[in-house]
Structure 1
Amino acid sequence: MIDKTLSVVVAEDETLFRDFLVRVIRQRFGFEVIGEVSTGEEAYQLCREHRPDLAILDLRLPGITGQELAERLISEQPETKILIISSVEDPKRVGSLLQIGVSGFLNKKEEFSVFEQAIEAVANGNIFVKASAQAQGDSSTETLDQKELLETLSDREKQIVVFVASGMTNKEIAGKLGLSIKTVESHRSNISKKLKIFDIAGVTLFAVRTGLVSL
């Protein structure tokens, strides 16, 4: 159940796309848009003043970039959930964004329904990552291969994949499971070798596509 009282800041330098996002937020979810701005500096000041529940940030904002702004907000007001949007999709960048604590990443080229899914997931406190159709692929062979890979993981490794996909650090995972950080690091190394996935974004996508994580 989504809290209709959520407050949102939208930072996007393309006017038409910003208007689209604001319309989706207001009409589809009924959230309060407390500000819509075009630069990182404006977004930062707005967030400091109003401390919104959700900030939707373009990755390449003029001035302070979306990633720099996200890092500041996560450090200064971690209660604000952050959804990053971008027309450029780099798995390594997505991984680094998730690692610093953003709640989601979305390619601007996605369909309208995916924007709804992303906003709903992040508003509910979940992690959302949606790769482009090209990156995901849609062949049954690929899906089958990933399901087969899933079966190579132990129950403990599957558990850790879920925690990684949820944005938890090695230290947080270790505390949650009562393990040492070195043991968690060892598990993650084995997971990477088995799946041939070496970034957080890739692990997150794997978890979503194999059903370990539901959005």
Structure 2
Amino acid sequence: MKLVIVDDDPLVRQSLTLLLEKETDFTVIGVAANGEEALRLCEKHQPDVILMDIRMPVMDGIECTKRVSETWPQIRIMMLTTFKDEQNIRLALNAGAKGYVLKSSSIDDMAQQIRTLAAGSSVLDADVLKEIVSPTEQYQHVDQLTKRENDIVEAIAKGLSNQEIADLLFLSVGTVRNTLSVILDKLELRDRTQLAIFYWKQVRK
């Protein structure tokens, strides 16, 4: 798996590169100190996953995420930051980030989160979810979900891919995919990230 690390702190770039490249399935193909450098790396190397800092000079991570998502939608972006305030989280997700993980995460957890992200699932740190799930917000149509649909929602919230959900629930991948579309339609949600937020708010409250 090809990774690009984007952070304005050279020590962060160096340490993440050394630690992640110990994983046999990861190759760090480039590092960047700001969003502009990251865009050039995307143009040249087409990475699978970008670990993106938020606050950087020249071009910050939010703007870079927006541009990468528009130009190379197949590239998965994980925000990797010390900031877990609601505004930054929402801006990152709206810009196209599919993951938001804190730098305080262990390298083992981070590696697994990268794999989950690359497999097509969204990844949100539990502390991050707490920031964006307001206890006063209400989702509608909760009772419309069947037991199977609730099982799939729970699995998605835990970061499982469609294949993993299919194996867990003894379903075909096509059935999982189709059921997910039905769930999103019922709950009037846009994607797996919103569905994960729905789960942590409604089911685990």
Query: What TM-score comes out, normalization by structure 1 length?
Result: 0.63
Q: Deviations over 1:175-214 (max 9, x none)?
A: 93399xxxx4x8449xxxxxxxxxx9785245369899xx
Separation (CA, whole Å) in 2 of partners of 1:18 and 1:75: 25
**Equivalent of 2:181 in 176, 182, 206:** 176
Aligned length: 171
One-letter code of the match for 1:35? G
Cα distance, 1:187–1:115 mapped onto 2, change above 3 Å: closer
Cα distance, 1:178–1:112 mapped onto 2, change above 3 Å: closer
One-letter code of the match for 2:34? T
Corresponding residue number in structure 1 for 2:167: none
Cα distance, 1:211–1:122 mapped onto 2, change above 3 Å: farther
- Cα distance, 1:39 vs. partner? 1.5
**Equivalent of 1:40 in 35, 41, 51:** 35
Structure 2 counterpart SS, 1:207: helix
Q: Is the 8 A contact 1:106 1:130 kept in 2?
A: yes
Cα distance, 1:95–1:207 mapped onto 2, change above 3 Å: farther
Corresponding residue number in structure 1 for 2:116: 121
Q: Is the 8 A contact 1:86 1:108 kept in 2?
A: yes
Which structure 1 segments of 5+ residues have no match? 1-5, 137-148, 167-172, 190-199
When the two chains are superposed, the root-mean-square deviation of aligned CA atoms in Å is: 3.9
Does residue 7 of the first structure (1) align with residue 2 of the second (2)?
A: yes
Q: Is the 8 A contact 1:130 1:205 kept in 2?
A: no
Structure 1 counterpart SS, 2:199: helix
Q: Is the 8 A contact 2:4 2:51 kept in 1?
A: yes
Structure 1 counterpart SS, 2:83: coil
Cα distance, 1:53–1:61 mapped onto 2, change above 3 Å: same
Corresponding residue number in structure 1 for 2:72: 77
Q: State the identity %.
A: 25
Corresponding residue number in structure 1 for 2:19: 24
Q: Is the 8 A contact 1:57 1:82 kept in 2?
A: yes
Structure 2 counterpart SS, 1:83: strand
Q: Deviations over 1:146-177 (max 9, x none)?
A: xxx9xx64316858967x969xxxxxx9x933
- The equivalences for 1:11-160 within 5 A come to 11-132=6-127, 135=130, 153-155=143-145, 158=150
